[in-house]
Amino acid sequence: MASLKEMRNRISSVKATQKITKAMQMVAAAKLRRSQDAAEAARPYARRLASVIANLATGVSGDGAPALLAGTGRDDRHLVVVAAADRGLAGGFTSSIVRASRAHIDGLIAQGKDVKIVCVGKKVTAQLRRLYAGRIVENFDLSAYRQLTLSVAQPIADVVTKLYEAGDIDVVTLFYSRFKSVVQQIPTALQLIPAVVEGGEVASGPAAVYEYEPSEEAILETLLPRNLTVQILSALLDNMAGFYASQMTAMDNATRNAGDMIKRYTLEYNRSRQAQITKELIEIISGAEAV
């Protein structure tokens, strides 16, 4: 059994840890609100851009369709972009995204597909490197960025576009965590290339006829690369909100667990101290009686 001094040191150590986890919970809660606002503010623009592209795509088909929209016509070479967190202490946030991406990657490999991986976040890189070191073509560290903007997502989109234009990949899939609520973040797979066309506006009356200048193809050639960047940025913002929500929950659980440990250790300490006092009293009384 531990001595009373060891037990006092243990209680003091757990109390210090509890102060740290409580502080981290409060910091995560403050950052969650800003991150959630940023993620929700980015969604209308992303939806509107997707709607414009969907309306333009209805008038484009055949050989005139842009490459990012039509695809290569093959399904042999895949690029999987996995985006998660650069830091830990957030429960299973990163692990849930990695599990979803691993299931997808393993399924493609089992089908004989050529798979390449782009990692966004240090934690993702560390986990996937152990299994797919030879398939990782690029990794990004976002810990140096204090705020996520298009300039942060652009280098990732440039790598994807470069690989696609070089003919090294046919399909691009992005894995991230979609922020739904403080207690629920959903690992999500989003196909970036070929672009998934959906969300076009449906008019209630007769369909309007639009004349575009320049042509639909020329507009799409400009909008599709921008849409790729916007979709990646929206995913990164969702990830950040989900990370702080998971961290806040994890630190709250850690603080509660530390409180339970302090109560248990304090009870053990009091029992041991009482037993030691009782033992000393018995020895004193026994010695007095012997005299």
What is the predicted pLDDT for the residue at 105?
93
> What distance lies between CA 49 and its chain's CA centroid?
23
pLDDT, tens digit, 9 for 90 and up, residues 16-62: 999 999 999 899 998 888 888 888 888 888 888 888 887 777 766 65
Max CA-CA distance within the chain? Answer: 115
Closest CA to 91 of 117, 123, 119: 123
Identify the pLDDT of residue 4.
81
Residue 41, both tokens: 């503010």
What confidence tens digit (pLDDT) does each residue in 130-180 have?
888 889 988 898 887 778 888 888 999 999 999 888 888 888 999 998 888
DSSP E strands in the chain: the ranges are 77-83, 114-120, 136-140, 171-181, 184-193
Q: What angle do CA 231, 216, 172 make, to 5 degrees?
A: 30
199-229 tens-digit pLDDT: 544 444 444 555 666 777 778 888 888 888 9
Q: Round to whole Å and give the CA distance between 258 and 261.
A: 5
User: In this predicted model, what pLDDT tens digit does every residue of 221-257 receive, in sequence order?
Assistant: 888 888 889 889 989 998 889 889 988 989 999 999 9
pLDDT tens string 171-203: 899 999 888 888 888 899 988 888 776 654 444
Cα angle value 72/157/191 (rounded, 5°): 50
- What interhelical angle do 216-290 and 4-57 show, nearest 10? 170
172: which strand partners? 79, 193
Q: At what angle do helices 150-165 and 216-290 cross, to 10 degrees?
A: 120
- CB 243 within 8 Å of CB 86: no
Lowest mean pLDDT among 75-79, 95-99, 117-121, 201-205: 201-205
Task: Please tell me the distance from the alpha carbon of residue 137 to that of residue 135, in angstroms, as a whole number.
Answer: 6
Per-residue CA distances from 193 to 67, 97, 107, 176, 273 (Å): 9, 20, 19, 16, 68
What's 133's DSSP letter?
A: G
Strand partners of residue 116: 79
Distance in angstroms (rounded) separating the CA atoms of residues 171 and 191: 8
How many CA atoms lie less than 13 Å away from 260 in the CB half-sphere? Answer: 6
